[in-house]
Amino acid sequence: MTTLRTWLNDEAPASAWQARCGSYYRGLDRALRSPMTLFGIAAVLLMILVAIVAPWLAGIDPNVQDFTCRLSPPSSAHWLGTDQLGRDLWSRLIYGTRPTLLIVLLVAWLSAPMGLVVGICAGYFGGWINTVFMRVTDIFMALPRLVLALMFVAVMGPGIINAVIAITVTAWPPYARLARTETLAIRNSDFLHAARVAGIPTWRILVGQVLPLCLPSTVIRVTLDMAGVILTAAGLGFLGLGAQPPLAEWGAMVSTGRLYIFDQWWVAAVPGAAILFGSLAFNLLGDGLRDVLDPKHA
């Protein structure tokens, strides 16, 4: 352990690899000292864990209706009370992590590759490809996110998959810009020239050499954006355009709780607090990651 730390903190690193490991290590060390980042990491891990073990944590099926105790306040039988159909709110809260994380994951999986492909191609090939791709990116960047998503879902029909597509349509442009900047910075470096001279096919250069260098900054940006994605998805759910009943989704749960807000306020308060928790977690994690991987902003 001691030797590893000495190797990482070496004043005169013998290789670029060692230098980079060392700088990540010191960044991680710095980030872990910040209680906010620690909270972010812990909260995201907690959400993932809860989503996996939901059936054991919840105890009660989230969709079982019990009209004898509808809208009951928190009690020992129902820790957070019940909604208008007598469904257990604690159980629905626990299961609600699943659609939220599913949307976040899908949006990340769809929009990051899309942005990377556009950005790397624009940066690497330059010329008219750059002009066209970046114009298109700028246009998408200037469009209102929530309203376009709303319109898309309104026209194509509500549901989680359509919500994901709608959010993705407006989520990819920042990644394209980022990837283009990173690619431009290394485009004329010697190792790429060497690769070209060695006759490595272009697509392999792009995937094997350029892509890995664009990944760290993209990962940070994606993490930071996930907080916004959670909010947009919850907003769509609140308007009845995201996840459809009876699926337990936090935004939709706030929307049903809205009818009882003045008398049984916990029905809306509980899932809303969960949305806040989720989005806060990703914001803190993103901030922390940025400190680690991008020392310029530290």
Partner 1 sequence: MKRWMFARSLARGATRALLTFALTVVGLLLITFLIQKASPIDPVLRVVGDHASPEAYHAVYVEMGMDRPLYVQFGRYLGKVSRGDLGVSTSTGRPVVEDLAQYFPATVELATVAIVLGVLFGVPLGMWAAQRHNGKVDQYVRVLSLVGYSVPIFWMGLMGLLLFYAKLKLVAGPGRIDDIWKYTLQSSTNFMLIDTLRDRNWEAMRNALSHLILPALLLAYMSMAYIARMTRAFVLEELGKEYVLFARVKGATETRLLWLHVLPNIAAPLVTVISLSYATLLEGAVLTESVFSWPGIGLYVTNALFTADVTAVLGGTLLIGFCFVALNAVSDQFGYWLDPRVR
- Write 237-243 long-range contacts (CB < 8 A, 24+): 237/163, 239/150, 240/158, 241/150, 241/153, 241/154, 241/158, 241/163, 242/103, 242/153, 242/158, 242/159, 242/160, 242/163, 243/99, 243/159, 243/160, 243/163
Task: Please give the Cα distance from 29 to 259 (Å, whole number).
Answer: 48
Site string for partner 1, 28-67 (x = CB under 8 A): --------x-------------------------------
Give the nearer residue to partner 1 in terms of CB position, either 24 or 140: 140
CB nearer to partner 1: pick between 26 and 145 = 145
- Binding residue for partner 1, selected from 55, 77, 138, 295, defined by CB under 8 A: 138
Binder among 42, 46, 48, 261 for partner 1 (CB under 8 A): 261
Q: Looking at 38, 60, 136, 213, which residue binds partner 1 (CB under 8 A)?
A: 136
Q: Which of 256, 283, 288, 292 binds partner 1 (CB under 8 A)?
A: 283
Indicate whether 258 belongs to the interface with partner 1 (CB under 8 A): yes
Smallest distance from the beta carbon of 217 to partner 1, in angstroms? 17
Tokens representing residue 160 in the block? 């989680």
Q: How many residues line the site for partner 1 (CB under 8 A)?
A: 45
Does residue number 196 form part of the binding site for partner 1 (CB under 8 A)?
no
List 104, 176, 234, 247, residue binding partner 1 (CB under 8 A): 234
Q: Is 110 in the site for partner 1 (CB under 8 A)?
A: no
Nearer Cβ to partner 1 (148/184): 148
CA-based Rg of the chain, rounded to a whole angstrom?
23
Who's near 23: CB < 8 A, 6+ residues apart?
295
DSSP string, 142-196: TS-HHHHHHHHHHHH--SHHHHHHHHHHHHSHHHHHHHHHHHHHHTT-HHHHHHH
Continuous segment of H or E residues that includes residue 254: helix 250-257
217: left (phi over 0), alpha (psi -120 to 50) or beta: alpha
Interface mask (CB under 8 A) for partner 1, residues 140-179, using x and -? x-xxxxxxx-xxx-xxxx----------------------
**What's the rounded Cα separation, in Å, for the pair 90 and 60?**
9
CB of 32 or CB of 154, closer to partner 1: 154
Facing residues of 88 across strands?
82
How many CA atoms, within 13 angstroms, populate the side-chain half-sphere of residue 12? 0
Report the residue number, 109 or 265, with the smaller CB distance to partner 1. Answer: 265
Contact status: 279 vs partner 1 (CB under 8 A)? yes
> Which residues contact partner 1 (rule: CB under 8 A)?
36, 135-136, 138-140, 142-148, 150-152, 154-157, 227, 231, 234-235, 238-241, 251, 254, 257-258, 261-262, 265, 268-269, 272-273, 275-276, 279-280, 283-284
